Amino acid sequence: MIRILALVASLAPVAALAQPHTGHSHAGHGLPPAQQMGHSPGAAAAAPVQPGQGAFAAIQEIVEILEADPKTDWSKVNIEALRQHLADMNAVTLLSEVRAEPIDGAMIFTVTGAPPVRDAIRRMALAHASTMNTVGGWQFTAMQIEGGATMAVRVPAAELAKLKGLGFIGVMTRGMHHQDHHLMIARGDNPHH
């Protein structure tokens, strides 16, 4: 009797999968596979969805976009350039030293680091300042200095507390241009033109 119950219990999931599929819904598309199947993220049957490292995940996302686009010109694609940019982002975010100095209606961020970090700071700060200058009424001025770069950010008076709260790295994250920027780098385009 126990064997029969065990056999029936083990076949129940298979029988459920064999049922005809009606009322197909696209609601789960775009979700991780485990969630598309109706499993909760912590369920035993769930498959891992995180690739284990942020830069790897960003590259994986871009590669998937490029592979899905039939217009991708693979002769121009440069994933290595994207990897180098993500390494710059990592260095600036985690390894730079930042000194913030408030001035009338603005903040001046002095960002420095050892030679590899210094170079990443210069590339990131100058590019961000040119991309974001005047967006939302915020004015950016960046220049190279010994050991890195300075970035002066002038904002409307009502946003000065926000600027101080964000600090340098918060300011660097503003603007949803980063994802498009990464795609442009990977496609072999120059995102700063």
Domain presence at residue 16: no
Domain presence at residue 185: no
Domain presence at residue 92: no
pLDDT (0 to 100) of residue 25: 42
Domain presence at residue 129: yes
Q: What is the average pLDDT across 16-45?
A: 48
Q: Is 152 exposed, middle or buried (0-12, 13-18, 19+ CB in 10 A)?
A: middle
Check if the beta carbon of residue 34 is closer than 8 Å to that of residue 45.
Answer: yes
Tokens of 155: 């904002």
pLDDT (0 to 100) of residue 19: 39
Whole-structure pTM over 0.75, yes or no? Answer: no
Domain presence at residue 64: no
Provide the residue range defining the domain that includes 113: 97-174
pLDDT in tens, 125-177: 999 999 999 999 999 999 999 999 999 999 999 999 999 999 999 999 998 66
Domain presence at residue 106: yes
Domains of the chain: total: 1
pLDDT in tens, 66-124: 999 999 999 999 999 999 999 999 999 999 999 999 999 999 999 999 999 999 999 99
Backbone torsions φ then ψ of 97, nearest 5 degrees: -110, 135
Domain presence at residue 33: no
Report the candidate in 103, 174, 178 with the shortest Cα–Cα distance to residue 135: 174
Tell me the CB-side half-sphere exposure of residue 136, using CA atoms within 13 A.
Answer: 17
pLDDT (0 to 100) of residue 42: 55
3-state secondary structure string across 49-60? CCCCCHHHHHHH
Domain presence at residue 7: no
